[in-house]
């Protein structure tokens, strides 16, 4: 038996996604924009996101885990996917070769492992100051590195969204690395890095959050459109009397008679308790505030502005990323990647 339609839906606006990629590609100047599609395209779903980006002209896709590679590789030609976490085992290296994805080499041991597995085109991540993932600068002169066939020479900025002196320091080291080893293309900028200007662009940029409507820095404000629009079904409507309270710990009390609705969205879906008291829903331009505490599977909303709504109607969750982040204290990245598995994508 086919189960009924889920009561949560995440709409992905493919036109807005395409708009954002084209905008970021244009802002990347002579470089072309790729796309970070790790964590299932930041929670939006690679099955929708990757074909739309390919159609727009994107040719470089980045995932983090090996477990993410197949779903993306199935949607694009061989060689278009890079796996950032690198080959930790011979099995990872063999898998990359069989699937036609590029491993991102992050250490001398990984370089050795890739060569031992038969090698071929790979990417190389150099750590220029984030001190997270990547080959230390001092290892660039190791003879093993000369044996690699490096397609993309990458580094990653720690503070692209800040006016930090670290940006200039990392840029200098990345340029030094570019002079030291043979590679076909170079890449440094994430979304915010694109806004740092042409020196930071190289040949390929790697936007993630900005593709999906996040605004990582002031320079990109107003340039990007909202892509992810969560929707939830109304599962109950009730009328409160003045003095009735709502939800766990009764944190909201009705001041007057009012109609409220219960929607099938809660913190188990990534709609965290940080939204309690500040979140809003929208129906045909009408604003419906969250009342009381968000529960695991439900949120109560004020239907005063939409008394016509009833069980089974769909409500849009207001989810503009910069505004939502300011309201909840969550990052724009967390707001997207936290959306749970109960959403139909």
Ligand X SMILES: *Cc1c(COP(=O)(O)O)cnc(C)c1O
Instruction: Tell me the catalytic residues.
Output: 38, 248
Site for ligand X contains 122 (CB under 6 A): no
Angle at 316 between CA 287 and CA 292, to 5 degrees: 60
Strand partners, 263: 234, 299
Nearer to ligand X, 156 or 183 (CB): 156
Chain residues 234-293 in contact with ligand X, contact rule CB under 6 A: none
Helix (DSSP H) and strand (DSSP E) numbers for the chain:
11, 19
> Does 20 help bind ligand X (rule: CB under 6 A)?
no
Could you give the C-alpha distances from 121 to 32, 177, 204, 265, 336, in angstroms and in order? Answer: 19, 18, 16, 45, 32
- In order of 25, 49, 126, 200, the CA distances from 175 in angstroms are 21, 32, 11, 10
Q: Which residues, listed in sequence order, are joined to residue 52 by a DSSP beta bridge?
A: none
CB of 139 to ligand X, least distance (A): 18
Q: Which stretch binds ligand X (CB under 6 A): 11-19, 206-214, 278-286, 292-300?
A: 206-214
What residue number has its CB nearest to ligand X?
A: 208
What's CA 53's distance to the chain center, in Å?
14
Binding residue per annotation — 132?
yes
| Member of 86, 87, 202, 207 binding ligand X (CB under 6 A) | 207
Alpha-carbon dihedral of residues 239, 240, 241, 243, nearest 10 degrees?
A: 180
- Determine how β-strand 228-240 pairs with β-strand 258-263: antiparallel
Residue choice 12, 36, 76, 215 for contact with ligand X (CB under 6 A): 36
Which range in 107-115, 165-173, 201-209, 298-306 contacts ligand X by CB under 6 A?
201-209
Considering only 86, 129, 208, 279, the residue that binds ligand X (CB under 6 A) is: 208
206 binds ligand X (CB under 6 A): yes
Q: Which of 124, 209, 227, 290 binds ligand X (CB under 6 A)?
A: 209
Q: How far is CA 46 from CA 51, 174, 181, 252, 264, in A?
A: 8, 30, 33, 39, 24
Residue 35 binding ligand X, by CB under 6 A: no
Residues binding ligand X: number (CB under 6 A): 12
Residues 126-155 that bind ligand X (CB under 6 A): none
Binding status of residue 102 toward ligand X by CB under 6 A: no
Q: Is 298 flagged in the annotation as binding?
A: no
State which residue, 16 or 36, has the beta carbon closest to ligand X. 36
| Contact in structure between 51 and 93 (CB atoms under 8 Å) | no
How many residues make up the chain in this entry?
345
Q: Which stretch binds ligand X (CB under 6 A): 141-149, 208-216, 234-242, 334-342?
A: 208-216
- 300 is a site residue for ligand X (CB under 6 A): no
**106 is an interface residue for ligand X by CB under 6 A:** no
The binder of ligand X chosen from 18, 106, 191, 328 (CB under 6 A): 191
- Widest CA span in the chain: 77
Stretch that binds ligand X, among 6-14, 207-215, 300-308, 318-326 (CB under 6 A): 207-215
- Ramachandran quadrant class, 86 (left: phi over 0; alpha: psi -120 to 50; beta: rest): left
Return the H-helix or E-strand segment holding 291: strand 286-291
User: Considering the complex, what minimum distance in angstroms separates the CB of residue 141 from ligand X?
Assistant: 23
Q: CA nearest 46: which of 12, 79, 78, 15? A: 12
Annotated binding site: 132, 296
* Contacting residues toward ligand X, per CB under 6 A: 36, 38, 84, 156, 190-191, 206-210, 216
Annotated binding site for substrate: 132, 296
């Amino acid at each position: 038996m086919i189960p009924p339609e889920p009561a949560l839906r995440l709409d992905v606006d493919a036109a807005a996604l395409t708009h954002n990629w084209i905008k970021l590609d244009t802002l990347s100047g002579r470089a072309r924009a790729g796309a970070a599609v790790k964590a299932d395209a930041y929670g939006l779903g690679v099955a929708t996101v990757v074909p739309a980006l390919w159609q727009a002209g994107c040719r470089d896709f980045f995932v983090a885990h090996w477990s993410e590679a197949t779903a993306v590789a199935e949607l694009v030609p061989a060689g278009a996917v890079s796996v950032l976490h690198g080959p930790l085992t011979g099995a990872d290296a063999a898998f990359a070769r069989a699937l036609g994805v590029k491993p991102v080499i992050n250490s001398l041991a990984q370089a050795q492992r890739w060569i031992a597995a038969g090698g071929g085109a790979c990417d190389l991540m150099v750590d220029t100051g984030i001190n997270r993932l990547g080959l230390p600068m001092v290892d660039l002169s190791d003879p093993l590195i000369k044996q690699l066939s490096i397609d993309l020479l990458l580094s990653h900025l720690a503070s692209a969204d800040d006016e930090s002196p670290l940006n200039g320091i990392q840029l200098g080291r990345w340029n030094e690395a570019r002079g030291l080893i043979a590679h076909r293309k170079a890449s440094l900028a994430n979304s915010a890095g694109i806004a740092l200007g042409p020196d930071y662009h190289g040949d390929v940029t790697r936007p993630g959050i900005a593709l999906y409507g996040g605004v990582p820095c002031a320079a990109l404000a107003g340039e990007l459109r909202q892509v992810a629009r969560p929707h939830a079904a109304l599962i109950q409507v009730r009328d409160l009397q003045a003095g009735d309270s709502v939800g766990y710990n009764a944190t909201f009390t009705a001041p007057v008679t009012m109609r409220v609705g219960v929607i099938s969205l809660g913190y188990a879906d990534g709609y965290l308790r940080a939204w309690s008291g500040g979140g809003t829903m929208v129906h045909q331009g009408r604003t419906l505030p969250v009342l009381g505490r968000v529960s695991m599977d439900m949120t109560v909303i004020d239907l005063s502005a939409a008394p016509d709504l009833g069980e089974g109607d769909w409500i849009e969750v207001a989810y503009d990323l910069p505004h939502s982040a300011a309201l909840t204290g969550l990052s724009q990245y967390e707001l997207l990647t936290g959306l749970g598995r109960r959403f139909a994508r």
